Amino acid sequence: MPPSIHPVDLILALRDKHLTPAIVFLTSRRACDEAMQAFDHSRILLPPPRQQAIADVLDKVIAQYPSIAEHPLIPTVQRIGVAAHHAGHLPSWKIAVEELMRHGCLDAVFATTTLAAGVDFPARTVIITQSSIRKSRDFMDLTIGEVQQIAGRAGRRGKDLVGFAIVTPSPYIDLNVLTKGFTGHPEAINSQFLISYPMVLNLLKAHPLDQIQPILAKSFAQFQLNQRAEVLERKLDDLRDQMEPFGPRVCTDWITEWQTFDQVRRQKSHRAPVRKHEPPEVAARFHFLTPGRVVGFGRSRGVVLRQYRSKGQKSPMITALRLGGGITESPASTVTEVSDRVLDCVDAPVYPWCTPESVEELLHHLEELPGRLPELPILIPKDDEPIPDAIVQTLGDFACPTCPSRSACQRDYPLAAKLRQEQHRHVKSIQALRTSLWHRFQEKIDVLQQFGYLTPTAHLTEDGEWARLIRIDHSLLITELLRADAFSGADPAMLAAVMSSIAHDDDRPGAFPRVSSGLASLLGQVRKLAASLSPHEDPPLLRADIAAVTERWIGDPGLTWIGLCKSTTMAEGDIYRLLARTLEFLSQLHTLKATHPGLTDTASRAIAALRRGVLEELP
Amino acid sequence: MTTEELEQLLAQQPIALLHRLARGRVQRHFRAGKRRLIEVLLRHSAENRAGFESDLMTLIGEKHARPAPPPPQAPAIRKQKSSAPQRRTTHRPVEPESHEPAITLSSWLEGLGIPPSKAFVPDAWQEEAIAKLREGDVVVSVPTGSGKTYVAVEAARRAIAENRTVIYTSPLKALSNTKYTEFSKIFGAEQVGILTGDRRDNGQAPLLIMTTEILRNLLYDAGGGEIDVRLDTLGLVILDESQYIADPERGVVWEETIIFCPSQARMLLLSASIGNPHDIAEWITSIRPTPCHLVRHSTRTVPLRAGYLHPNGKLTPLFRTVGIPHGHPSYLHPEAKRLFLQYEDETLPSHSRR
């Protein structure tokens, strides 16, 4: 049996049950294109009046957007009534397909799941062929919200009494993901508050530094952090109640007193502790790696079962239960992510450090967890606190041996110490939750001060005044390029080419035109600068082959769109998006008229040269 | 097991099993061929050899066990199995199945068709959203395809009638273009303008369409002292697809837009179904002068049915019930279940291909 249904059979089955029009969501663009090819020699033609209806609608769209007149898919669309709609197509083609769907001319559209949100047309039926989706170069299971978003396209208001979402399997499909998606509640959404350099500059332009913290406090991010802090505060209240019986005794801080006494008594201090240098972030994190904490190890995930220090080197270690059932002993530095989630776990004194039932339960919970978890904000102390010189204490320094409450202290110490430790941890967490946004903002201020966009009092410098107008990705790289006068001798084509290599973030390989030597050397400089900025801003891909596409388009005004497409294996839609993004970046440079007249002039010439043919069809 | 033995054992397994083994261990394992996959798996297994081997054994065991289902009188074995940590793929939630008989295909398909055309009557939630917009901000969270656009259009119409400017934002340029055409048809071309990064068409129109980034930049400029668009006459800001606030890269733009939105303007957030719309409403209430009202609605206007289409062309309902059994993912239709298990059997161990 074939691993998945043949597109022709699919359309026949749908027509047979009157389930058309349908949107068929496929894994990749290639799958969509192959599905269209499958109809090349098929004989399941539409009746002539319907073919005519399609031709009429297409004629109208073509009159508005002439670029699609020669589109290779048009014959298949007209004969069979099926079309493909994905990011590799020109926006005008997608408009044509949407228009055809709106008129009810088509039987099916093959689309990619990646753009489910961008598919803005309903149908009677939605066909789902997969349970995972490609996200930033990796496959992830669909979330409940995404399944419902996809299924939501089924059933047109006013045109259908019911809508149908039909699953048809393909290799690696997980039916559980889909049934859960259909029947479940959509996930809660979490704020993703990225603080960018332009944001810092623009906020500081409009508000003095002391008003920034209240503004950040208005964000949804802080709202959600506060919610988490409140949960911890309630726990802290509980702990305070539990600590009630362990209040001051003969000495006020009897817990610390007993702890040091106990240590001295066991003569622990005789052996000088091995002090290894630990990175501050590992030290700060280790504090939170308590039993039950969900942590990430690179791509996999686990639950901490216990934390300890290794025998010889005293390095921070954890025992963790990994996804899949393995129990590993790993250094705390291998933990890449400390999540906000703590699972219940019943401690046990021996391996595996908790009861077998709870291992199974933990594993079950771990599998059920959503793909993305809120991370625990952890404050990393700037400079290591100086270690106090060890005061050599002897048993004679303590009053404990003769103290009246000695037996009570001895009895209560283990529980009280544990509770107090937990209290400290919660207090630290709450502090981190309340201030983490502000700390992240301050980090950005530090960088901007270091580069001279902000004065030491956090006012905008002359450079900061214009740099705040660059509000795109990789803004630091672009402003630094401008300050280094990198584009002084560049012609419009070179400027646009560099901008497009900064804007492009896809690493899809392919064949591209050759890059000119002038552009290559300019890109070399840009790369060097980007590498030097990498501690403060992720460097863009800066692909020379991508830059060459833009360079050709602007450098040669006689070049037609078809000619440009033929010079590379890049899909039409990708070239369009590349040039549109470049246009966006160039128009940002255009706002610097007052301070960089030469550059704005080059940018406007580049914009004028870029905006022609297909690029002029849509606003 | 020595490494050579392990390698041999892996080489004997079908590629599908290797892929299942690689799930969660190896990145982009779909791309790798068999030799490469084995190589990567072996390298990976060095980290946790015991766990790797036990997973492999479970998978191999499964492969042999699956064609012959275990006899019913084997409670002892099952008990043993359940106490050992199981792999994710075998873990199915244990839930009582519905005892009602499963529906047939014909009754599942029943009701298919075109509703008689009648005058458009807005739903109660649509009316509610528009009415509440008089009192304050509104967050709408409804399933895809319920008619959010109607709310946007009506709200815009009322604001324009009061001589206020309306800004409508969408996350994608393509969606902006679609809405531009759509709104131009409804309100007339001279009433609608569109702003993009480098172009402005009819920028003085009362209804302006732009992406959320452009609006954020306008608000930045207003904050910095340079007034651009007539923000003082701004009466309504409509943020479509506002579930984008959770987008890892762009979500912050939605937050900034909401934080800096002028206080005299009303906000209308239109979102697909999300799990915590009340959080959003509560948040907006806490930072804006007027209280924010949440309009939530979870039933779809056009009811949905789920089906299963086998690669051989056989269509069955996916669930035992006609509609979607909310909260009961295991209420599968017996026929769909049987066909899917058959599919997994045929594609995973691939006896036929050998």
Q: What is the pLDDT of residue A274?
A: 56
A339-378 residue pLDDT tens: 888 888 888 888 878 888 888 888 888 888 877 788 888 8
Looking at the fold, whether B87 and B137 belong to one and the same domain comes out as: no
Six token digits for residue A476? 């630091």
Tokens 């050759």 belong to residue: A514
Judgement on whether residues B140 and B240 belong to the same structural domain of the protein: yes
- Regarding whether B134 and B200 lie in a shared domain, the answer is yes
Would the pLDDT of B80 be above 70?
Answer: no
Residue B161 to residues A118, A172, B154, B266, Cα–Cα distance (Å): 31, 54, 11, 15
Given B296, B324, B344, the domain boundary residue is B296
CB contact under 8 A, B306 and A164: yes
Would you call B282 an interface residue with chain A, using a CB distance cutoff of 8 Å? yes
Q: What is the DSSP string of B61-94?
A: HHHHHTTSPPPSS-HHHHHHHHHSPPPGGG----
Q: What confidence score (pLDDT) does residue B74 get?
A: 42
Residue B278 has pLDDT above 90, yes or no: yes
Whether A22 has a pLDDT exceeding 60, the answer reads yes
Q: CB of B316 within 8 Å of any CB in chain A?
A: no
pLDDT of A473 > 80? The answer is yes
Same domain, B141 and B290: yes
Residues B167 and B267 in one domain: yes
Contacting residues of B for A158, CB less than 8 Å apart: 115, 117, 120
Q: Chain B contacts of A157, Cβ < 8 Å?
A: 145-147, 301-302
Distance from CA of A324 to the nearest CA of B (A): 6
| Interatomic CA distance for residues A574 and A565, integer angstroms | 10
**DSSP character string of A157-195:** TTT-S-EEEEE---TT--HHHHHHHHHSPPPPP------
Answer yes or no: do B255 and A219 touch at CB < 8 A.
Answer: yes
A89-98, A120-129, B95-104, B154-163: lowest mean pLDDT where?
Answer: B95-104
> Are B50 and B199 within one domain?
no
Residue B96, domain member (yes or no): no
Highest mean pLDDT among A221-225, A512-516, B312-316: A221-225
> With contacts defined as CB-CB under 8 Å, which chain A residues touch B289?
none
Residue A347 bridge partners (DSSP):
A354
* A35: its two tokens: 């599905």
Contacts of B327 in chain A (CB under 8 A): 183-184
Q: Is B97 among the domain residues? A: no
Within an 8 Å CB–CB cutoff, is residue B307 touching chain A? yes
Same domain, B86 and B186: no
Is there a domain that residue B116 lies in?
Answer: no
- Report the share of chain A in percent with pLDDT over 70: 94
Question: Would you tell me which residues 216-245 of chain B have a C-beta closer than 8 angstroms to some C-beta of chain A?
Answer: 216-217, 220, 223-225, 241, 243, 245
Residues B207, B71 share a domain: no
**In chain B, what residues touch A196 (CB-CB under 8 Å)?**
252
Residue of chain B nearest A588, judged by CA positions: B197
Identify the domain containing residue B348 by its residue range.
103-111+304-354
What pLDDT does residue A234 have? 95
DSSP string computed for B128-193? HHHHHTTTSEEEEE--TTS-HHHHHHHHHHHHHHTT-EEEEEESSHHHHHHHHHHHHHHH-GGGEE
pLDDT tier at A618 (50, 70, 90 boundaries)?
Answer: confident
Assigned domain for B118 exists? no
Contact B304 A618 (CB under 8 A): no
Chain B residue closest in CA terms to A166: B307
Residue A1 pLDDT grade (very low, low, confident, very high; cuts 50, 70, 90) = low
Nearest to B208, CA basis, from B197, B229, B219, B193: B193
pLDDT of residue A119: 61
| pLDDT grade for A273, boundaries at 50, 70 and 90 | low
pLDDT tens digits, one per residue of A274-329? 566 778 888 888 888 888 899 988 888 899 998 888 887 788 899 999 888 888 89
Q: Is residue B119 part of a domain?
A: no
Question: CA angle, B245 as apex, B242 and B247 as ends, to 5°?
Answer: 120
Does a structural domain hold residue B74? yes
CATH number at residue B277: 3.40.50.300
Coil, helix or strand for A54? helix
Does residue B92 surpass a pLDDT of 50?
no
Contact A207 B30 (CB under 8 A): no
Q: Is residue B98 part of a domain?
A: no
Same domain, B65 and B23: yes
Question: For residue B81, is pLDDT > 50?
Answer: no
Token duo for residue B149: 């656009």
Q: For an interface test with B, which of A12, A24, A164 has the most B Cβ atoms less than 10 Å from its Cβ?
A: A164
Q: How many domains does chain B have?
A: 3
List domains and CATH numbers for chain A. Answer: 7-183 (3.40.50.300), 192-275+387-455 (no CATH), 276-376 (no CATH), 469-616 (1.10.3380.30)
pLDDT of residue A224: 94
Q: What does pLDDT average to over chain A?
A: 88
Is pLDDT of B178 > 50? Answer: yes
Q: Using the beta-carbon criterion (under 8 Å), do A176 and B343 form an inter-chain contact? A: no
- Answer whether residue A438 shows pLDDT above 90: yes
Q: Compute the average pLDDT of residues A14-32.
A: 91
Residue B178, domain member (yes or no): yes
The pLDDT value given to residue A272: 58
Closest CA of chain A from B344, distance in Å = 8
Q: How do A82-85 and A108-112 pair as beta strands?
A: parallel
Q: Are residues B254 and B274 in the same domain?
A: yes
H or E segment to which residue A437 belongs? helix A406-451
On the question of pLDDT at B21 being above 90, the answer is no
Q: What is the pLDDT of residue B70?
A: 44
Task: Check whether A118 has a pLDDT greater than 70.
Answer: no
pLDDT higher than threshold 90 for residue B301: no
User: Residue A365: closest CA among chain B residues belongs to which residue?
Assistant: B88
Pairing of strands B234-239, B165-170: parallel
d(CA A381, nearest CA chain B) in Å: 27
ipTM passes above 0.90: no
- Boundary of a domain, candidates B256, B274, B296: B296
Using the predicted structure, report yes or no on whether residue B86 has a pLDDT greater than 50. Answer: no
A499-508 per-position pLDDT tens digit: 999 999 888 8
Average pLDDT over residues A104-108: 92
Give the pLDDT score at A216. 95
Contact with chain A for residue B262, Cβ under 8 A: no
Does residue B66 surpass a pLDDT of 90?
Answer: no
Q: Do A192 and B252 touch (CB under 8 A)?
A: yes
* The predicted structure's pLDDT at residue B147: 84
Say which range, A131-140, A142-151, A426-435, B241-250, has the weakest mean pLDDT. Answer: A131-140
Residue of B113, B143, B274 lying closest to A152 (CB–CB) = B143
Beta bridge partners of B209: B168, B194
**B155 and B60 in a common domain:** no
pLDDT at B77 over 60: no
- The residue of A120, A301, A334 whose CB has the most chain B CBs within 10 angstroms, and thus the best one to mutate to test that interface, is A120
Task: Nearest chain A residue to B146 by CA: give it.
Answer: A157
B138/B278 same-domain check = yes
Better-scored residue on pLDDT, B77 or A469: A469
Please report the residues numbered 19 through 78 in chain B whose beta carbons come closer than 8 angstroms to any beta carbon of chain A: 19, 24-25, 27-28, 30, 47-48, 50-51, 54-55
Residue A221: burial class (beta carbons within 10 Å; 0-12, 13-18, 19+): buried
